[in-house]
Amino acid sequence: MQEIAPRVYIETSYAGVTLGAINWSHGLILIDAPFRPEDARSWRSSLLNLGGGVDRMLVNLDGHFDRTLGSRLLDCMVIGHEKLVQIFRSRPVTLKAQMAETGSEWELQPTFGSVRWLPPEITFTDRLQVHWDEEQSLILEARFGPNPAAIWAILPGDKVVFVGDAVMPHQPAFLANASIPLWLETLNLLLSADYREYIIISGRGGMVTTSEVKWQIRYLEKAQQLLEELAARRAAVEETESLVKPLLAGITITPENQELYRQRLIHGLRQYYTRHYASMRGEAGGDNAS
């Protein structure tokens, strides 16, 4: 666990996403959850050493499986965007990892049995302010692009912002439920003067720099250009697989992640093309929540 600002911590050692913890006088505010039961137990044990108030609140930065599978394991109140409720309602209660193909981290783990999803008890549409400390507050804001339920967790007093999957350095993006134009708007905001002095925490990589934010912008612009070129010639959805190689170029990939990242792009490009461009070919679009 790393303290990045007074009473603000991150943890990057668990499978899945970067975790956050804000230790305020009223209690702990947690950012996302580990999906493996053993990691959840370890994380809860580490949090006991922080002391602080007795209450706990968990913020889900979006509806991705990697950050919501373990929410119930942390045994606390959940807060998130209102669209999370709809996402959870559409999900199966049994997960079969051997049949999954979205390129998510949880798919590398042994098969999950029945899952009792934990919808947020507190939801919001655009912006919510949490007052759990006498000196400052936590601001939650909808920042769509990577996911329909994507939000940022902002600490103006400490100049820290948790941006979830808005920035994913050194790995391909999850495109299946994304909107690239909205995503680019979000990233340009992150580069604006409003966030110039902020510590930026990626949901999959811990602290990131502005150069990595700019890399994310270039990556998404490249993906959008390639998809639009396919759409311009009314290509079949199967042809999106030809975009995998150029979108993996320039990313250093370990052997164990080679197939994972490849499958992430195959699934994401197919879903994105179907949802955003199929109507140009007279086809009906679809959507898979991830």
What's the mean pLDDT in 204-216?
94
pLDDT tens for each residue of 8-29? 999 999 988 999 999 988 889 9
How many domains are contained in the chain? 1
pLDDT tens for each residue of 87-145? 888 877 666 544 568 878 787 777 666 677 778 899 999 999 999 888 889 999 999 99
In a domain, 231, yes or no: no
What's the mean pLDDT in 55-62?
94
In a domain, 38, yes or no: yes
In a domain, 256, yes or no: no
- Position 46 pLDDT exceeds 90: no
The pTM of the full predicted model, rounded to 2 decimals, is 0.89
In a domain, 243, yes or no: no
Range of the structural domain that residue 141 is part of:
2-209
CATH label of the domain that carries residue 30: 3.60.15.10
Mean pLDDT of the chain: 87
In a domain, 276, yes or no: no
pLDDT tens for each residue of 78-97? 999 999 988 888 877 666 54
In a domain, 226, yes or no: no
In a domain, 247, yes or no: no
Helix/strand/coil (H/E/C) assignment for every residue in the chain: CEEEECCEEEECCCCCCCEEEEEECCEEEEECCCCCHHHHHHHHHHHHCCCCCCEEEEECCCCCHHHHCCHHHHCCEEEEECHHHHHHHCCCCECCHHHCCCCCHHHHCCCCCECCCCCCCEEECCEEEECCCCCCCEEEEECCCCCCCCEEEEECCCCEEEEECCCCCCCCCCCCCCCHHHHHHHHHHHCCHHHCCCEEEECCCEEECHHHHHHHHHHHHHHHHHHHHHHHCCCCHHHHHHHHHHHHCCCCCCHHHHHHHHHHHHHHHHHHHHHHHHHHHCCCCCCCCC
In a domain, 219, yes or no: no
